[in-house]
Chain A
Amino acid sequence: MEVLSLLLDGIIACFEPLNLALIFVGVTVGLFIGAMPGLGSVNGVAILLPATFLVPPTSAMIFLAAIYYGAMYGGAISSITLGIPGASTAVATTFDGRPLALKGRADQALVTAAIASFVGGSVANILFTGFAPPLAAVALSFGPPEIFALMLLAFATFVGLGGDDIPKTILSICLGLVLSAVGFDVISGEPRLIFFDITGFMHGINFLVLAIGVYGIGEMLWTINSTRDEITMTDAEITVSRVMAAAKNTLGAWRGTTIGAALGFFVGILPAAGATPGSLMAYGVTKMTAKHPQEYGKGSINGVAAPEAANNSASTGAMLPMVTLGIPGSPTTAVLLGGMVIWGLTPGPRLFTDQPDFVWPLVGSFYVSNLIALVVNLCFIPLFLWMLRMPFTILAPIIFTLSIVGGYAATQDMHDVWLMLIFGLAAFLLRILDYPLAPAVLAIVLGPIAEPTLRQSLLLSDGDPMIFLNRPIAGPITVVALILIFLPALKFGWDRMRQKSA
């Protein structure tokens, strides 16, 4: 109960005029930063960090957390309306959000995204408030073998989906893994796959460069090709009654929302992971456990709800190791951590006891920011829909420009812009050949986590792969992952047997 009164004090602190104003501004700024392709919460927080010296540390932290929240909501907007992921965390939202928009149900997708985000954020906040110390212990019990097992499970959800063409899915994953290996090897420190000695490859291939190439440029080319010269206008009406109806329909997405909120939080609290893997995994699991997985990718509201609930839940989750262990769970929290150091706070196991005046207003601000972000987001939906009503002949150049700007903004390197255009063209060709591209995007996100942990584990065990099976946490995860990977093969064999007996 002590926690509740501390939390209440924290929430009350957020209603001080300065803090409330900062939350409002932060959420709105974050929403637009998140909606800009290429710019995500990490850029928003990093850019505005020095601006926070004008206010006391607690207010500054509340402001940055509000930007973080706003950006998580905003990422979905361009994913849905334009088909370009607004931030790396919203890539999975394009899978079903864009098809919904093309069907003229953009309002449904946007409302579902907002509500799922709110639910995800709320679930995570409650878990954070109630169980921060024991959950920090969970994060500590995940060493390299456990993290690798989890990554294996993430890949398995994408392979074991059925429906899709499995050899093509595996090829797509391999493509992503090769791209994720470009750059420097962490374990040996040697350069790898630096094509033609171009220095741009040294920093590796940024995940956003691939994602914007595939979903921005590739999608644009695909739409131009598939519509030819008929000018398409997306029907996007918005009225209060439609929003209400959309909100009601969102109840049907409870499954995606629940899976997203739970899985997102769990992946978020593990340092090294963060919201991007969290949202992709939530999408994969929701699709895999669905009754009609073939509906996914064609405009399922569960497919929008799962990644959106997950990325908000994971963002709050990622705050947990930052606040309790001093280790950031995502790039954005790493910058926030830098901010805390600047203000003279030491995040770590003692922060909760040593700095309650800082921690509780921050936690309280998660609740307030989450609510305000929902309201602000819903208010802006008509504006976003207006964007959609533009004919595609006008929209296409806008998408193209935003993609180029977004590709450049991620690393500020022209090399990445060229690379993005190449990826866009390649994605378009692969799509004509009916290759799924989401697995490649998943692989480039998870590859850099999976590879070092695999090699660290094998170093620990002197090359014995049993390390993934004989540890209490890694073991069960690995077994489930292996079953999922071989499920299609088993099913195939089972069907053959049945045919024979019939």
Chain B
Amino acid sequence: MALTRRLMMAASAAVVGFAGMTGLAHAWEPNKPIDFVIMAGKGGGADKMARLMQAIVEEEGMSAKPLIPVNKPGGSGAEALVALNTASDPNHTIMVTLNSFFTTPLRQPGLGVDIMTFAPVGRMAEDTFILWVHKDEGINTFEEFLAEAKNRGDGWVMGGTGKNSEDNIITDFLNSNYGLSIKYIPYKGGGAVAKDLAGQQIDSSVNNPSEALGFYESGDVIPLVAFTDERLPLFPDVPTLREKGADFSYFMQRAVVGAPGMSDEALAYYNGLFQKVYDSPKWQEYMTKKSLMGAKLDGPDLKGYWETQRDRHESILKASGAIK
């Protein structure tokens, strides 16, 4: 009897010890499907990227629970930001963001969103911008573009995604720095802009390479200048705006953030998960093919990057009069 009792005690101690160990080894893990909020509509650049990440996670079995993509495109990301801010389970709510992550809270203080409270899961890439024109314009260089756009005044039309968005900020810069008066027409998504440039409904665009690539390859549109610091490997013959003497470059963050109030353990889990996604051959291939740049950032580095970006966007929006 005594022996069995001792045995039982030993056994239960071993079980407890084992359970404790596995607890330590596994740390935090999601115990239900993860809400994967997309700050844009279906089919756009952000959406495609989010679904690629979801596919990589799914295919490689990286997560015990699946990521469930939910599109919340309303109001340049306002709907998505509010959804995360009020998430009932912050440990199971993450979001793919763009630069509206910086601009929308600045423009709409009423939303009560403070981006510094969001959990820094990981910046997966920085998307780049290029100035495109239709081949039939007969424009082949940035200088020719400046001359023609100046000549046409507000008859020159730039299409872009949304008002006060990335595309709008670049257009404003071109206008103020080169004395142009390009007319900016907001569209719902980058795909529609690319299509209308190919159909010559508009005169130019500042699409991301991923959005314009198809029409570039078919020869319909011509890249004139890249808004990056270095020339893009995919477009070695396209000069940067810096080479043309302007102190300006502009990128779009492609980052994953967690809902405010996410526990440190959960954040650590997602940091690891998205590091694996970043390191996967599929993601690396996508970055090369779509001309994405930027190193992986997470944790305090990502928060530091957000702070700089927020301040930069605040001064840009103030200068353009979008905010006071």
Contacts and interface: CB of A to CB of B under 8 A. Distances in A.
A232 B311 CA distance: 68
Interface stretch (B5-13, B50-58, B124-132, B135-143): B50-58
Nearest to A331: B42
Contacts of A325: 195, 198, 214-215
Residue of B48, B157, B185, B195 with most chain A CB atoms under a 10 A cut-off: B195
Contacts of A199: 79, 82-83, 86
Interface string B18-56: 000000000000000000000001110001100110110
B218 A348 contact: yes
A189 B213 contact: no
Interface in A425-457: 452, 456
B218 A349 contact: yes
Given A141-B199, A349-B218, A350-B214, A334 B79 contact: no
A346 B291 CA distance: 14
Contacts of A337: 43, 48
B285 interface: yes
A344 interface: yes
A391 B181 CA distance: 68
Interface in B132-179: 154, 157, 162-165
B217 A349 contact: yes
B47 A334 contact: yes
B76 interface: yes
A188 B185 CA distance: 11
Contact of B162 (A46, A143, A189): A189
B183 to A, nearest CB: 7
B92 to A, nearest CB: 14
Nearest to B47: A338
A460 B43 contact: no
A202 B82 contact: yes
A204 B42 contact: no
B220 interface: yes
A326 B214 contact: yes
A199 B52 CA distance: 29
A45 to B, nearest CB: 11
A144 B201 contact: yes
Contacts of B47: 334, 338
A191 interface: yes
B160 to A, nearest CB: 11
Contacts of B286: 341
A144 B157 CA distance: 13
B74 A203 contact: yes
Given A338-B48, A341-B52, A183 B195 contact: no
Contact of A456 (B54, B66, B107, B185): B185
A152 interface: no
Interface string B260-286: 000000000000000000000000011
Given A140-B198, A202-B74, A334-B43, 5 more contacts: A49-B55, A143-B202, A189-B186, A348-B215, A350-B217
